[in-house]
Amino acid sequence: MTGPDRRIRVLIAKPGLDGHDRGAKVVALALRDAGMEVIYTGIKQTPEQIVQAALQEDVDVIGLSCLSGAHSTLFPRVAKLLAENDARDIVLMAGGIIPAEDVPFLEAHGVARVFGPGTSTREIVEFIREVAASA
């Protein structure tokens, strides 16, 4: 799916009511600088809106960001909707204020990788390149 001619496409999304999007926007800019095609949904998106945008934009990866503590409700719903739309091949990654204890739960519910506070954007770029190469 990601041939040499096609740039990696990423949707950065903010589910829920949380307006803290500094991290989401900084990651979006870093991925763009790394040569990826990046679409940012803006804040206050429902899981339905996010999945719809991902399908419409034909992205390889969705990056979810949430700092309000609603991640355990909202992230698995995005994963479930992707599965229901035959879009399991879209890789789901996440970031925000997410306690380490919650990571196994999220990983068991469709989130491939959780990046905590302090993560360097290089690490995120490498992760995306790896998953895109193995797709």
Least gap, CB of 134 to another protein (angstroms): 25
Residues in 84-103 at the binding interface with another protein, rule: CB under 8 A = 97, 99-101
Counting contacts by CB under 8 A, is residue 29 touching another protein? Answer: yes
- Out of 6, 7, 35, 44, the only residue in the binding site for another protein (CB under 8 A) is 44
Q: Can you tell me the distance from the alpha carbon of 73 to that of 118, in angstroms, rounded to the nearest whole number?
A: 23
Burial grade of 17 (CB within 10 A; 0-12, 13-18, 19 or more): exposed
User: 82 with 51: CB under 8 angstroms?
Assistant: yes
Counting contacts by CB under 8 A, is residue 35 touching another protein? Answer: no
Q: Can you tell me the distance from the alpha carbon of 113 to that of 134, in angstroms, rounded to the nearest whole number?
A: 15
Quick one: which segment of 38-46, 52-60, 83-91, 103-111 binds another protein (CB under 8 A)? 38-46
